[in-house]
Structure 1
Amino acid sequence: MKINKIITIASLALLSVTALTACGKSNTASGHKGQLNLMVGSEMPTLDPSLATDDSSLTALSNTFDGLYRIEKNAKPENALATNTKVQSNGLTWTFQLRKGVKWSNGDPVTAQNFVDGWQRTNDPKTAAEFAYLFDGVKNATAIQNGKAPVKSLGVKAVGAHKLVVTLEKPIPYFKLLLGFPVFFPQDQRAITKYGKQYGQDSSKQVYNGPFTVNGYHGTNSKWSWQKNSAYWDKQSVKLDKINFQVVKDASTQLNLYNSQKADITQLSGDQVEQYKNNKQYIYRPGSAVTYLQMNEKAVPALKNEKIRAALSYAINRKQLVNNVLQDGSTAAKTFTPAKLASNPTTGKDFAKQAVVPGALDTDLAKSKKLMQEGQQETGSSSLNLTLLSGDTNVEKQNAQFLQSELNKLPGVKVSLTPMPGKAKLSHTSKGQFQLALSSWLADYSDPNTYAIFSTQNDQNNGKWSNAAYDQNVADAGGKNAQQPTKRFDNLVAADQELVKSYGVIPLFDGSVPGSGPFLQRAYVKGIVYNTAGINWNYKHAYVK
């Protein structure tokens, strides 16, 4: 999940502290104790927990809402609104006792019914929530999303104000991790009703029950802030009074702010990494993320031809992309699921090593040209004009330009570029309004299932690729083999292999995306909890020393 995220690369947050007024030139934080100023790489699309799919929105929601659990250090779920959890009926019935006395920022009490309302709203097909698929396994969730069962039949029930009972159709091994994700957070029905279509589209049209509240967000603007939530049940644990955000898309501008003592954290890219990797303030924050090329088979029928899709993949020199363009510690993709996310429960072998399809993601221009010619003959076309959609940050545009140069080497292929702001790009990809799209996916939780997003009916399958073997393996991993760890693991490996060898998408590189990878960070920034999967950045315990 990380959720989506799809997190398209254009919509991922770049974390960086900016415009501190009195840092001085030392490594102390005089003048801004209790406050941070952060930069993000794109506009924040929404504050609606049902609709958020990008990293910027999800990070904001995870720091301004509390769910049943909060994902803390080492991706460990810790009690937030849940104070006690009982699992019964072979993992199919979960009963949660909720914390008493918790209030929304508008003064409303937080109750079990808020979870029922939020979950039902997310699964209601009228909401069109892209992350509704994460509820797969909750009783009737999939049937509701497909319009085959009433919304009220969802397997979640409030028993009084402080008891929540969830019924599953099948065991979900990673259910606790899911419950720390924003789409599973409670929602205040009174606020939903009051604000209607504006709910979550403006910071004043949302209520909060977490460490911070959001102020100054209006949907498309480039500045907003989080402020310590005075109504938060655990406010004594929150050290920062305020975090300011500003959209800054240029990596050089970020670095300049850092070097002029006006920034506390900046993400590095390109040749900046080589220049600063021995600096004492250098830190590498790994991320479980893959950047890949989506191909829209519905918009471009020729892309239904596997040889044409394979030709596009073989034309791309991934090592040149990571070594000469990115230069930030990213590695050429060998699978769709990145390394170091999960291991075989029997052998201990890394998932990505087990899933490798030898040669499938190699660079071979001669083979690429041959496959393209064969594919064009099979489809009766002699030319292929494609538009590549990307974000509008410098890094994303450079990546897109590299792909354009690689793909234009193929006979009859002409690729043009369309960069656009992250919010617009996310909207276009989710609606299928693209031909090729440069996208990224970050793990929503530490389990390979988070990368199994290309089943035929999955909302994240924007390119409309369909493969029966892939679908069956994903279904078996979540169904008959859900409680058999090794068989489940093998199903997910087989699904990843099918995706790669059939070129349902084209994996490009793993590792660094905006929000993870190489950073400079001053020593006085303390207490940030960073996880490689799920919501990466948790500021609840952050402080400036």
Structure 2
Amino acid sequence: MKKKIRIMKRLIGKKMIVMLLAAAVLCATVLCGCASDGKSRGDAARADGEKEITVAVNSETGTLDPAGSIALTYLSYSVTALDELLTYDENGEIEYRAAESFEVNEDSTVWTFHLREDALWSDGTPVTAEDFLNTIRRALDPASGSGYAVYLFPIKNAEAIYNKEADMDTLGVTAPDDYTLVFYLEESCVYFLDLLRLPVYTPSCAKYADSVSSGWDKDPATSLSNGPFLLKEYVPDQYFVLEKNDYYWNKDEVHLDRIIYRFFDDTQAMASAYETGEVDVAVSLSSAVMELYEGKEDLMVTDQIATRYIYFNLNVEPFDDVKVREAFNLAIDREELCQIIGADTEPTYNLVAKYMVNKTTGERFVDEAGQPFEENVERAQELLAEAGYPDGEGFPVLTYSYPSLEMDSDTAQVIKEQLKENLNIDIELKAQELQANYSSRYAGDFDLCRMNWTADFADPYTYLSMLLSNSTYNCSGICDEEYDALVESSSREQDPEVRFSLLHQAEQRAVGEQFYIIPLYAMKSVNLVNPQITGLRQIPASGALEYRYADISQG
């Protein structure tokens, strides 16, 4: 009964959020009437005839350097400003971008890419193989802080170079000429083409991109683009502007003149800015928006290939005890959590994203194996007692660190309540600015830490690789030889059925036996999009919106 009352209180609170958001939107509409630059809600184009859209995104985080510390801001920028070698379209077909063709040897250890000779940087100079090498070499310096460096490790000697055990001149990447790039791998890697959309495989102009700390990446004079748009202006904590790149090899297919990304601290402000016409697209909004805009053509709800979960720090007692980690997992009621958090969430018990599809079978990966574990409060209490903390007695007060975003704050409160009610454990809550949360997690400065991972490529390896002992994203001290062996064996396996069986075994060990994480929920992305905008695509790997070939209808 107590639980039902608490859920009802939370749901009533969500209704109040809808009402407050509706009131804020109405107030903003009355006060502002229309947006700047001659645009209004019904007119996405500028008064001067240029095609421009403004996109609301979460607060500024990270660098724009593909070899640096990557977060949300880079992901917004790169999807329209940078061309990778190649990618996959929504039908699973290869879409060539910076490369125009490739060859691979019989055992898939030597990959040769032929670059477009008509590809130019936004200053009109050629994009060459050396620019790709520039990013790779810089990312393999730990001082760059690239979490994606681990995805270079399939390359011969890359891991040894990262660990200062080999010299850079031994790296298995060569440029026989300006327009040929050859990768020599340590061993067969069946998902290598999927990796090519990652930042560390993206070029950075060797003329300017010297280090992650020099500031070249946010200076329009030095932050060159090889994609459809170029960086025109960057104002920290406010916005950045991308303009059409007239040197882009495929410029005739680019219809927008300008994209402005505006930073917002909270989703309510983003939704209000959308309603007043200050922005044309607002992404990753509160679930309250689903109810407010139900039935309206502005509302676009998409599957996120993402998992929200919690990292244990295994270097902090008692999280070095698997019984404690299992108790935490079994004591959390994810159905209740999602009822409270919002309709855009769905319980998950996996690390691999709930909506990720096995490209071989067409089925969701997580549906092809049993659920890693089941919640059981009584068993959780027994495990905690076996670990030496009967009814929570003597359990230290530890801290849960999380970004001070609405969804994460609500989640933290529910987790705190459930652990208190079900295990008689008190945890302290530590809300942090988003960038501070990233930094403390990466430094291992946490007890429990919120983690969210949106797939970088359409393969379960993008998730399972993060728990490898040598992973640059392994922030919690996991060192499991059996797990490492399963994941590494899957990378070499050519038979898709055998390979996915190994990946399922690896996830079961990590999530259902050793309980290295606390999976919480999968998410849908609640977006508002001006109906005049056409040609939007979804990136198959992540589910995020892509604007590079968007247009504005004149009707």
Equivalent residue letter for 2:251: K
Correspondence for 1:414: 426
CA–CA separation in structure 2 for the residues paired with 1:436 and 1:116 = 37
1:528 to 2:540 alignment: no
Query: Shift of the alpha carbon at 1:420?
Result: 1.9
| One-letter amino acid of the structure 2 residue matched with residue 338 of structure 1 | A
Q: Secondary structure at the match of 1:301?
A: coil
Decide which of 260, 267, 277 is 1:244's aligned counterpart.
260
1:355 is matched with which residue? Answer: 369
Shift of 1:525: 0.9
Q: How does 1:7-86 map to 2 (within 5 A)?
A: 19=35, 21-24=37-40, 26=42, 29=45, 31=47, 33-74=50-91, 76-86=93-103
Show structure 1 runs of 4+ deviating over 6 A: none
> For the pair shown, which has the larger CA radius of gyration, 1 or 2?
2
- Compare 285-294 and 531-540 and name the one that shifted more: 531-540
Equivalent residues in 2 for 1:300-449 (5 A)? 300-328=316-344, 330-343=345-358, 345=360, 350-357=364-371, 360-362=373-375, 364-377=376-389, 382-411=394-423, 413-449=425-461
Q: Which has the higher contact order (CA 8 A, sep 6+)?
A: 1
* Equivalence for 1:91: 108
CA deviations 1:184-239 (Å, max 9, x no partner) are: 01222221349863342555552222111224336x52321112223322222221
Q: How does 1:188-337 map to 2 (within 5 A)?
A: 188-193=205-210, 197-200=214-217, 202-217=219-234, 220-267=236-283, 268-298=285-315, 300-328=316-344, 330-337=345-352
Secondary structure of 1:307's match? helix
Q: Matched residues in 2 for 1:216 and 1:417: separation?
A: 37
Q: 1:470 aligns with which of 483, 498, 518?
A: 483
Residues 25/466 of structure 1: CA separation in 2 closer, same or farther (3 Å cut):
closer
User: Are the counterparts in 2 of residues 19 and 37 from structure 1 also a CA contact under 8 Å?
Assistant: no
Cα distance, 1:296 vs structure 2: 1.0
Q: Is the 8 A contact 2:67 2:212 kept in 1?
A: no
Q: Match for 1:519 among 527, 534, 543?
A: 527
How far residue 290 of structure 1 moved from its aligned partner, in angstroms, is 0.5
Residue 524 of structure 1 and its aligned partner are, at CA, apart by 0.7
1:113-262 → structure 2 map (5 Å cutoff): 113-193=130-210, 197-200=214-217, 202-217=219-234, 220-262=236-278
Separation in structure 2 between the aligned mates of residue 348 and residue 44 of structure 1, nearest angstrom:
35
- Partner of 2:137, secondary structure, is helix
Candidates 478, 499, 503, aligned match of 2:510: 499
CA offsets per residue over residues 242-284 of structure 1, 9 Å max, x none? 1112211322222223333444333442333234333333222
- How far apart are 1:491 and its partner, in Å? 0.8
SS in 2 for 1:409: helix
Task: Verify: 1:459 aligned to 2:472, yes or no.
Answer: yes
Check conservation: 2:380, 2:423, Cα contact below 8 A. Answer: no
Change in Cα spacing, 1:25 to 1:445, as seen in structure 2 (3 Å) is: closer
**2:420 is matched by which residue type in structure 1?**
N
Deviates more, 1:285-294 or 1:152-161: 152-161
* Alpha-carbon distance in structure 2 between the residues aligned to 1:292 and 1:113: 38
In structure 2, the CA distance between the partners of 1:369 and 1:519, relative to structure 1 (3 Å rule), is: same
In the aligned structure 2, how far is the partner of 1:272 from the partner of 1:287? 17
Question: 2:175 & 2:245 partners in 1: Cα distance?
Answer: 26
Counterparts of 1:535 and 1:201 in 2: how far apart (Å)?
A: 26
Q: CA deviation at 1:135?
A: 1.6
1:12 maps to none
Quickly say closer, same or farther: Cα 1:26–1:538, change in 2 above 3 A: closer
Deviation at 1:333, TM superposition (A): 0.2
Aligned to 2:545: 537
Contact 1:85/1:96 (<8 A) preserved: yes
**Paired AA for residue 207 in structure 2:** R
Shift of 1:338: 2.4
Partner of 1:289, secondary structure, is strand
Give 1:519 shift.
2.3
Supply the AA of the counterpart residue of 1:492. Answer: L
Is this contact kept in 2: 1:265–1:522, CA < 8 A?
A: yes
CA–CA separation in structure 2 for the residues paired with 1:338 and 1:519: 20
Q: Percent identity?
A: 26
- 1:518–1:344 Cα change, 3 Å: closer
Is residue 43–residue 421 contact of structure 1 (8 Å, CA) maintained in 2? no
Deviation at 1:439, TM superposition (A): 1.2
1:484 aligns with 2:485: no
Taking a change above 3 Å as real, the CA distance of residues 385 and 216 of structure 1, as seen in their structure-2 partners, is farther
List gaps (5 residues or longer) in structure 2: 1-33
Any stretches of 5+ residues in structure 1 without a counterpart?
1-17
Q: Structure 1: how far apart are the matches of 2:336 and 2:384?
A: 22
Q: Which amino acid is the alignment partner of residue 487 of structure 1?
A: V
CA RMSD of aligned residues (A): 2.6
Q: CA deviation at 1:318?
A: 0.9
**Are 1:386 and 1:413, in contact at CA under 8 Å, matched by a contact in 2?**
no
Q: Deviations over 1:134-153 (max 9, x none)?
A: 12322222222222222121
Separation (CA, whole Å) in 2 of partners of 1:285 and 1:412:
38
Aligned to 1:5: none
TM-score, normalization by structure 2:
0.86
Contact kept, 8 Å, 1:47 with 1:203, in 2: the verdict is no
1:75 deviates by 5.3
AA in 2 matched with 1:522: N
- Equivalent AA in structure 1 for residue 430 of structure 2: T
Task: Give 2:541's aligned amino acid.
Answer: A
The DSSP-based 3-state class of the residue aligned with 2:156 is coil
Alpha-carbon contact 1:343-1:349 (below 8 Å) kept = yes
What number of residue pairs does the alignment pair up?
A: 515
**Alpha-carbon distance between aligned partners in 1 of 2:109 and 2:548, rounded to the nearest angstrom:** 32
Of 206-215 and 251-260, the range deviating more from structure 2: 251-260
Query: What's the secondary structure of 2:214's corresponding residue?
Result: helix
- Counterpart of 2:510 in structure 1: which amino acid? L
Q: Distance in 2 between matches of 1:128 and 1:266?
A: 30
Cα distance change, pair 58–499 in 1 and its aligned pair in 2 (3 A): same
Distance change >3 Å, CA 28–CA 229, structure 1 → 2:
closer
Alignment-mate amino acid for residue 544 of structure 1: I
Structure 1 residues 439 and 195: CA distance shift in structure 2, 3 A: closer
